[in-house]
Amino acid sequence: MNQLPNRVVNVYEDSSMKNDELFPLRVASGNRFCNREKERKLLKELFRQKRPTVLISPRRYGKTSLAYKVTEELKYPFCVIDFLTAYNDESICACIVKGVSELVSKIMPTNLKTVQLLEKCFYGVKVSILSKFIELEFTSPVEKIDPVRQVLEVLKGLETLAGKLNKIVVVFIDEFQRVLETERGDAIQGSIRSIAQLTQNIAFLFSGSSRHMLSQAFDDSNQPLYMMCEKIFLGRIAAQDYVPYIQEAAKIHWNQELHLTEIDRIVELSEEHPFYVNFLCSKLWQKDIPPLDTNAVDAGWQECFVSEERRLIEELDKLTIAQRSILKEIAHTPNLNAPTATHFLHKVKMSSGTVTPILKSLEKKDMIYVDPKGITRLLDPLMKYMLVMN
Ligand SMILES: Nc1ncnc2c1ncn2[C@@H]1O[C@H](COP(=O)(O)OP(=O)(O)OP(=O)(O)O)[C@@H](O)[C@H]1O
Ligand SMILES: [Mg+2]
């Protein structure tokens, strides 16, 4: 869903917003970033300490937004290296070299002195300047053909350069789990580890949309990055924090606040899921008048459903019949705190021996989760809406 190009983000740009950005469907930034006070404080502190960190949450909860927000606030130079489209060692390495080149382009002037300095810091690298962009390219015979060495040298070079400039820089690697799938992924992680464990100037942040695979990279004692990182688990954003966020947008768009009943309904339908709160509000904020009752909010939710129905059906189609029927029963059962208790088993007409592994597989697929109160719920509130409606 959220495909970010490899880039250095200029998060210090004017953040004045247009109405259609009141509820961003991609990265939330500036004034349209809601709360996350605790997580922001923690991540800032970890960046300051240069402690490698991994951000973990289900999809569309706001990992990327949080990373951007914190870097914006700290004003640290920042590069986003996205492994989304990287499928082998060479493309993983190319992403890292490109990300570091972009970061260097942001912090260095483009002149001959820079070229000389960079060629001293980055071993085996030829530096060229194309308009305002600095390109690092490995030309030494060994590094040229070895992605593992390139990753090591390019990060080592960045560390040396940032040290000379006395700067902290942030390297944010998104969709990091891709590195687990490549032939020499272990060795590439080893290169990252060797820099991350000693760095004085680079704050590494890792994230990805597959929680299961991320935990394989960071929790498995056979993996190079085992126990290397601090972990931040992102949850949903509390209803009370959404009230000022939504009211602010109502004042900007309609010059008036909403009744709390309608805000409650927005948060109830979207279940405090950051993407869905914005998705529903973006539909409601397309109207000339604010939602004047809960029916108007419900109509907006139905619009969301219509535009997402095909995707939801495709997601359901990927499940087995047993998985689907358990998912449907969970959608129909409020306050489900014991999905293997007799009452629920009776409803799904299955034994606990059958239900237990299905629950595990649904959780691994991020179709269900256990909320902080211990209630088993569907992760996607629109999926729940579809199953309950049917
Ligand atoms: N703190 C926030 N305030 C307002 N909206 C937010 C916040 N965090 C996330 N969102 C919204 O939630 C959605 C998902 O955000 P984002 O892309 O940052 O999540 P993600 O976890 O990185 O997603 P993915 O797993 O797909 O990479 C976007 O619509 C974004 O605008
Ligand atoms: Mg993201």
**What global pTM score does this model have?**
0.90
Cβ–ligand 1 contact at 274 (below 6 Å): yes
User: Closest ligand 1 atom to the C-alpha of 60?
Assistant: 23
Backbone angles phi, psi at 184, to 5 degrees: -110, 30
Q: Which of 275, 285, 308, 366 to mutate to test the pocket of ligand 1 (most atoms within 8 A of CB)?
A: 275
Q: Which three-class secondary structure state does DSSP give residue 195?
A: helix
Cβ–ligand 1 contact at 52 (below 6 Å): no
- State the Cα angle at 305 between 304 and 310, rounded to 5°: 120
Task: Give me 164's structure tokens.
Answer: 């000379």
Q: Could you tell me the CA-to-CA distances from 261 to 277, 296, 384 in Å, in that order?
A: 15, 12, 22
Task: Give me 72's structure tokens.
Answer: 């914006």
> What are the percentages of helix, strand and coil residues in the chain, rounded to 5?
55, 10, 35
Task: Give me 25's structure tokens.
Answer: 């469907």
* Sites in the chain below the pLDDT cut of 70: 1-20
What is the CA(26)–ligand 1 centre distance, in A? 6
Cβ–ligand 1 contact at 172 (below 6 Å): no
Q: Which three-class secondary structure state does DSSP give residue 299?
A: helix
What is the CA(296)–ligand 2 centre distance, in A? 31
What is the CA(24)–ligand 1 centre distance, in A? 8
Cβ–ligand 1 contact at 29 (below 6 Å): no
Predicted pLDDT of residue 211: 83
Cβ–ligand 1 contact at 27 (below 6 Å): yes
Cβ–ligand 1 contact at 275 (below 6 Å): yes
Spatial separation of the C-alpha atoms in residues 277 and 87, rounded to whole Å: 33
Predicted pLDDT of residue 20: 52
For CA atoms 6, 11, 14, 20, give the dihedral sign. positive
- Inter-axis angle of helices 147-165 and 89-107, nearest 10: 20
Backbone angles phi, psi at 262, to 5 degrees: -70, -35
What is the CA(61)–ligand 2 centre distance, in A? 8
Predicted pLDDT of residue 144: 78
User: Closest ligand 1 atom to the C-alpha of 174?
Assistant: 27
User: Closest ligand 1 atom to the C-alpha of 24?
Assistant: 31
Strand segments (E) across the chain: 53-56, 78-82, 125-130, 133-138, 169-174, 202-207, 230-233, 368-370, 376-378
What is the CA(76)–ligand 2 centre distance, in A? 19
